[in-house]
Amino acid sequence: MASTVIKNWDNKTWLSSKSYINSFNKFLIKNIDVNSKSKILDIGCGRGKILGSLSLNLKLKKKPLGIDIINHKDKDKRIKFRKMDVINFSKRNKEKFDFILIKQTIHLIKLSEIKKTLFRLKKRLNPRGKILIFTLDTHKNEIPTFNTMKLKLNKSLNRDKKILRLITKIFPYRIKKKFVYKVKINKKKYLEMIEKRYISTLISLSEKQLLRGIQEIKTKYKDTLKFKDKLICIIL
């Protein structure tokens, strides 16, 4: 995987809220065939909050597996964790799964490695198993931004378009859906998320660029931010 390290995407953000996690897991359960006996893998699991909640909802008999390049001390205790990147995992793993989740981490794999990695993961699925890949919606994205962040985000969305085209070419019979979550967040809270660089587009910015962007958001947006967090879901 790429060297980009996102430490705070699921730490005290709407992405870690009970409301978001419940909504996301309802979407998953509606679109995949899973039950208490299912074996589940989350690639880029972060603190494992989505996976842990899914385990509770399904009353999984076996702890779901989450892999990530960061081993958070406060990760969910309801998951089994391995500190590993997806390339090495896909090469070494022999276990089979009923469901593999790749949520907003596919872009961390080099474009040249995506095809081989997905083929290896497909081979590790049980007969009715599915892979669900989520990326930011590349059309009319509503995430609040400042100018430099917007330029970076647009670059990222163009990269995601290339990834989606590649996946469509490799797997022409894939299913495409959308997950939409309505966000309502205090501007002060969102600024804290910006400071912690909650999204990969912020990682490479200098402190000066970040501080300038925070001031821009302070004047650009109202005290309460309302927008839709939209994800494209590809089912393989």
Decide: 175 and 235 in contact? Cβ < 8 Å.
yes
110 pLDDT tier (thresholds 50, 70, 90): very high
Superfamily, domain 14-185+226-235: Vaccinia Virus protein VP39 (3.40.50.150)
Mean pLDDT of the chain: 92
| Span 80-102, average pLDDT | 96
Question: What is the rounded average pLDDT of the residues 139-153?
Answer: 93
Closest by Cα among 1, 6, 69 to 199: 6
Mean pLDDT across 94-105:
96
Q: Is the torsion defined by CA of 126, 130, 135, 136 positive or negative?
A: negative
Q: What is the pLDDT of residue 132?
A: 97
The predicted-structure confidence for 115-142, as pLDDT tens digits, reads as follows: 999 999 999 999 999 999 999 999 889 9
Q: Work out the widest C-alpha separation in the chain, in whole angstroms.
A: 53
Cα dihedral: 157, 160, 162, 167 (round 10): -160
Cα distance between residue 15 and residue 193, in whole Å: 11
Name the band, by pLDDT with cuts 50, 70 and 90, for residue 7. low
H helix runs in the chain, sequence order: 18-31, 49-58, 86-92, 111-123, 147-170, 187-195, 207-220
pLDDT at 3: 40
For residue 60, the one-letter residue type is L
Nearest to 219 by CA among 120, 146, 115: 146
What is the phi/psi pair of residue 47, to 5°?
Answer: -85, 0
Whether 166 and 111 have beta carbons less than 8 Å apart is answered as: yes
Does residue 12 register a pLDDT over 80? no
- Domain locations along the chain: 14-185+226-235
Say whether pLDDT at 73 is over 50. Answer: yes
Q: Going by C-beta distance under 8 Å and a sequence separation of 6 or more, which residues neighbour residue 82?
A: 65, 66, 67, 89
